[in-house]
Amino acid sequence: MATQVELAVKGTITPQMKEIALAEGLDPETIRARFAEGQIVAPIGVNHRHQVVGMGRGLSTKINASIGTSTDIVDIAAEVRKAQAAQAAGADTLMELSVGGDLDKVRREVLAAVSLPVGNVPLYQAFCEAARKYGDPNKLDEGMLFDLIERQCADGIAFMAVHCGINLYTIERLEKQHYRYGGLVSKGGTTMVAWMKKNHRENPLYEKFDRVVEILKKYDVVLSLGNGLRAGAIHDSFDRAMIQELLINCELAQIGREMGCQMMVEGPGHVPLDEIEANIILQKRMSNHAPYYMLGPIPCDVTAGYDHITAAIGAAQSARYGADLICYITPAEHLALPNERDVVEGVKAARVAAYIGDTAKYPERGRRRDMAMSKARRDSNWNKQYELALFSADAQAIRSERSPSDSRACTMCGEFCANRGSMEVFGHLLAGTAKA
């Protein structure tokens, strides 16, 4: 079948493009043109029972939630509940990142449980299966790897983080800079580096990139170029290894797009606040504005237990400067496998960040909701405030459990409600259209 990129290049506006245009309030032809340029992607895949989500230039910033088993905790039912909780909390996409238990079963049950586009990292299962079969993940053979990628696409995976940008030259940069403060923090990246060093071979995902592209094209799966050498500490941000991988991934994004595949580039990681804008400018310039998928980023390294808040600060800046998809961070980051509550908190924090970033990125259309909320607060219109709130049920629950004696006010100010008092003084100025 033809991919969204191939159809866009031919001038075809697909139903998915029309749906994205309607959701974003943009012209379908604009959406088509940006698909053709590789500036917008939509995770489709063969399991097109899920909702259509567009990511890229001119679109609202989207949120990804990640779930999955570990080698210590394998509870498929719990992962399904987390996936459903992420969807209910407002995630736009989901990544299934299991490394423990029956990985095919986990993936298929999660796919069946949600209507979100689901992504994954094929190297996780590949190295797990090699360890089980041979007793050593470094004995993974490339035939097994490519077969697995196709099997996962056939199951209905809609986007796939593939670590194609790690090569021998990139590893040489890491060695010549005498390693790092924070080490390597990507499971897929670290295991691939170990495989290459042990086998004295080039990364087959880089060496045979055209084969990766052809498999994903067959299923119209978005190829998200994994950030295997991303910085895991703010002092490693912009080091030579990280930039070398980003450069390669931006080149591969162009090659894959020219082959007709939907392409996305992944970013860090841990980045100090003053470097986020530069990171995004670099990626956008080198990739012709390919969609950028950022993990956070986390702009400091000392907030364990509250990393979802730290990441939200970084994510708001990322969205502001042009990131297109933000992977959430949960309160459990760096500490433990997240539970259902962690997932919900992570999604909500990331949604706040994306919203804030979008109000700066698209001020013309991004601040209307805030203006309406301001007027509802001024007028003590509580029902309108609930309607406009990002988290309406949470807002109503807080107010209802601490109900005021005067329904027009709240229990913070009570009889000294600033809005109520000022309306008594200045309400006459709101006559006619100014009050609307």
Which of 326, 255, 282 minimizes the C-alpha distance to 53?
Answer: 326
CA distance linking residue 3 with residue 216, whole number of Å: 10
Preceding amide of 346 cis, omega within 30: no
Is residue 233 within 8 A of residue 301, CB to CB? The reply is yes
* Class for the domain spanning 40-364: alpha beta
Preceding amide of 297 cis, omega within 30: yes
Whether pLDDT at 85 is above 80: yes
For residues 395-412, average pLDDT: 84
CA distance linking residue 128 with residue 126, whole number of Å: 5
Q: What is the DSSP string of 92-114?
A: SEEEE---SS-HHHHHHHHHHH-
Percent of the chain with pLDDT over 90: 87
Which of 121, 133, 72, 65 minimizes the C-alpha distance to 101?
Answer: 72
The residue ranges of every structural domain in the chain are: 40-364, 367-435
Encode pLDDT of 157-198 as tens digits: 999 999 999 999 999 999 999 999 999 999 999 999 999 999
Is residue 202 within 8 A of residue 243, CB to CB? The reply is no
Encode pLDDT of 253-299 as tens digits: 999 999 999 999 999 999 999 999 999 999 999 999 999 999 989 99
Encode pLDDT of 12-36 as tens digits: 999 999 999 999 999 999 999 999 9
Is residue 119 within 8 A of residue 149, CB to CB? The reply is no
- Could you say which DSSP state residue 115 is in? S
- Look at 51-55, 209-213, 415-419 and tell me which has the smallest mean pLDDT: 415-419
- Segment (H or E) for 326: strand 325-327
Encode pLDDT of 288-310 as tens digits: 999 999 998 999 999 999 999 99
Q: Phi/psi at 183 (nearest 5 deg)? A: 70, -160
Is residue 221 within 8 A of residue 150, CB to CB? The reply is no
CB contact set of 249 (below 8 Å; sequence gap of 6+): 164, 165, 225, 227, 265, 266, 287
For residues 62-76, average pLDDT: 97
426, with CB counted inside 10 A (0-12, 13-18, 19+), is exposed
Q: What is the DSSP string of 175-210?
A: HHTT--SS----HHHHHHHHHHHHHT---HHHHTHH
CA distance linking residue 349 with residue 329, whole number of Å: 8
Is residue 191 within 8 A of residue 127, CB to CB? The reply is yes
User: Measured in whole angstroms, how far is the alpha carbon of residue 64 from the centre of its chain?
Assistant: 4
pLDDT value for 431: 65
Is residue 256 within 8 A of residue 213, CB to CB? The reply is yes
pLDDT value for 47: 73
Across the chain, mean pLDDT equals 94
Taking phi over 0 as left and psi of -120 to 50 as alpha, with beta for the rest, 101 belongs to left
Stated pTM of the model: 0.94
- Look at 76-85, 91-100, 123-132, 423-432 and tell me which has the smallest mean pLDDT: 423-432
pLDDT value for 432: 53
Confidence of residue 435 (pLDDT cuts 50, 70, 90): very low
CB contact set of 308 (below 8 Å; sequence gap of 6+): 328, 329, 330, 331, 333, 342, 345, 346, 349, 350
User: Helix 15-24 to helix 28-36 angle, to the nearest 10 degrees?
Assistant: 120
pLDDT value for 189: 94
Is residue 76 within 8 A of residue 69, CB to CB? The reply is yes
Please state the three-class secondary structure of 351-420 as a single string.
HHHHHHHHHHHCHHHHCHHHHHHHHHHHCCCHHHHHHHCCCHHHHHHHHHHCCCCCCCCCCCCHHHCHHH
Q: What is the dihedral of CA 348, 353, 356, 358, to 10 degrees?
A: -100
CB contact set of 206 (below 8 Å; sequence gap of 6+): 164, 165, 166, 167, 248
Looking up tokens 């996305």 gives 264
Helical H runs in 306-362?
307-321, 340-361
Whether pLDDT at 10 is above 50: yes
Q: What is the dihedral of CA 369, 374, 379, 385, to 10 degrees?
A: 50
